[in-house]
Amino acid sequence: MTIEERKGNLNNTSSILQNLILENREKLSISGVLDVLSFDDQIVILETELGLLTVKGENLRINKLSLDTAEVIIDGEIYNLGYSEKDMSEKSGGFLGKIFR
């Protein structure tokens, strides 16, 4: 499947293309990043064009952050990647409401 076909298959986000490249569970390159909401050595929470992205692991560090090009590179031992909808985070009281559920 080509990139254009994948773009056409997305329902409401047909003009948005986001790439996640994970190399050996140690280096994660992400495009389409709007903002870094929170980070420490075990969790990084990013606002992306497709929703909130949570990266969990150990010894995590942001190696590259460029909001001009919407790219982030995270190094460390990556265990988990998870998306949640932007609308859900706003309805549940925002970022802190999401943490203290």
Q: Domains of the chain (ranges plus CATH)? A: 22-86 (2.60.40.2000)
H helix and E strand count, the chain:
3, 6
Quickly state the pLDDT bin for 91 (edges 50, 70, 90): very low
CA distance 24 to 44: 18
- Write the DSSP assignment of 61-93 as a string of letters: EEEEEETTTTEEEEEEEEEEEEEE-HHHHHHTT
* Cα 47 from chain centre: 6
* Predicted confidence (pLDDT) per residue in 12-64, tens digit: 555 778 999 999 999 999 999 999 999 999 999 999 999 999 999 999 999 99
* Predicted confidence (pLDDT) per residue in 25-38, tens digit: 999 999 999 999 99
pLDDT value of position 6: 45
Full-model pTM = 0.71
Choose among 18, 15, 25, 88: nearest CA to 59. 25
In the beta sheet, which residues pair with residue 78?
57
Quickly state the pLDDT bin for 86 (edges 50, 70, 90): low
Please name the amino acid found at residue 18.
Q
Structure token pair of residue 100: 């203290």
Q: With left for phi above 0 and alpha for psi between -120 and 50, is residue 46 left, alpha or beta? A: beta
